[in-house]
Amino acid sequence: QSNLSPNYTFGSFIEGDCNRLARSAGFAVANKPGITSFNPLMVYGGVGLGKTHLVQAIGNEIKNSLEDKFVLYVSSEKFVNQFMDAIKEGSVKSFTNFYMQVDVLIIDDIQFFAGKGRTQEMFFHIFNHLHQNKRQIIMTSDCAPKDLMGLEERLISRFKWGLTADLQMPDFETRIAIIKKKMQSEGIMIPNNVVEYLAYTVDTNVRELEGVLISLIAHASLNRVEINLSLAKTIMKNIVKDIETEVSIDFIQKTCSEYYGIKLEDLKAKTRKKEIVLARQVAMYFSKEFTNHSLKSIGYHFGGRDHSTVIHAVQAVNDLMETDNSFRNAVNEQKKQFKIRSY
């Protein structure tokens, strides 16, 4: 009994810059458990970023290729409860013996040990025994070892003996790949614009991304409707609060001021500094392209300027895009986000 879920494999774990180190260290450990210098392997990261998936993938890989190894996955919470029961029943000895027999111990969410002194002491002994005998220890935590509050220093220092690798939120391209993988395993088709919309808007964690996807599929099938963008938007509004589904002038101004590194007020002010003028013209250009505001209204939103100023800005941006490659690429890159939002 290893407590592993067979769905969590390396095959279903999409690789990206967000997880490359953790994933490849995990893969190395899976091929040579206990022998590499990655012992212990400590994977940390925020909620829903794939810690449990990755460490179980390591466990499954070992179990499938090295059948004689005793692989055990346990949540820290379960470990604590088992230990408490063992104390109550006077069976601490057999509890300890059991854990000392394991070849690969995967212990999830170690931050749960915080403040639990007796558990930490017990785990310290088990850890030492396993490590001395070249058994593999794999742990996860919701923060870096140095930030683990309420854990004894001697444990934390041991956690740093091997390799510590973090998981980050996947970028846009990786999110697309994760959604596509999920569609494949669910055997479901989702139009590309919906895939892009979801990948773009859900930037919190992978679990939430999957949650939105599952709701979308469920709604479509229960109501016998197609999966399309308007359904996706409705679901996003119900699940994720404060989502901006429309491209407003405000939003464009905010995005452009961040992109060009200038103050929001300056976009609307009278300043004629070159960088500011350009950022302002680009923002006007996007406002013309992605909103339904009239030239007059756009001018009004940029510090009460005349509609002819807006015409001039659009013309200036078009001209510069024709002559300046890097400017054109930058504008097109920015356009992508507005396009996805305004689908």
Interface with ligand ADP (CB under 6 A): 12-14, 19, 45, 47-53, 178, 206-207, 210
Q: In angstroms, what is the minimal distance from the CB of 104 to Mg ion?
A: 18
184/174 Cα distance (integer angstroms) = 15
Nearest distance from residue 210's CB to ligand ADP, in Å? 5
Query: What backbone phi and psi angles, to 5 degrees, belong to 42?
Result: -115, 120
**Of all residues in this chain, which one has the CB nearest to Mg ion in the complex?**
52
CB of 84 to Mg ion, least distance (A): 22
Write 157-160 long-range contacts (CB < 8 A, 24+): 158/40, 158/124, 158/127, 158/128, 158/131, 159/40, 159/42, 159/110, 160/42
- How far apart are CB 51 and Mg ion at their closest, in Å? 5
Strand partners, 42: 139, 164
User: Site size for Mg ion, by CB under 5 A?
Assistant: 2
For 98-178, where are the E strands, in sequence order? 104-108, 136-141, 163-166
Closer of 13 and 112 to ligand ADP (Cβ): 13
Element (H, E) at 158: helix 153-159
- Of 52 and 119, nearer to Mg ion (C-beta) is 52
Among residues 218 and 264, whose Cβ is nearest to ligand ADP? Answer: 218
Binder of residue 19, out of Mg ion, ligand ADP, none (CB less than 5 to 8 A by kind): ligand ADP
Residue whose CB is nearest to ligand ADP in the complex, by number? 50
Cα dihedral: 333, 335, 338, 343 (round 10): -110
Which segments of 92-147 are extended strands (E)?
104-108, 136-141
**Distance between CA atoms of 213 and 215, rounded to whole angstroms?**
5
DSSP SS3 for 252: helix
9 binds, among ligand ADP, Mg ion, none (CB under 5 to 8 A by kind): none
31 or 75: CB nearest Mg ion? 75
Q: Which is nearer to ligand ADP, 207 or 254 (by Cβ)? A: 207
Q: Minimum CB separation from ligand ADP for residue 55, in Å?
A: 8
47 vs 218, which CB is nearer to Mg ion? 47
Task: Please name the helix (run of DSSP H) or strand (run of DSSP E) that holds residue 75, with its range, or none.
Answer: strand 71-75
* Complex with Mg ion: residue 43 or 256, whichever CB lies closer: 43
- With binding defined as CB under 5 A, does residue 52 bind Mg ion? yes
Min dist CB 41 to Mg ion, Å, is 15
Beta bridge partners of residue 75, listed in sequence order: 108
Give SS3 for 124. Answer: helix
49 binds, among Mg ion, ligand ADP, none (CB under 5 to 8 A by kind): ligand ADP
CB of 54 to ligand ADP, least distance (A): 7
Binding residues (CB under 5 A) for Mg ion: these are: 51-52
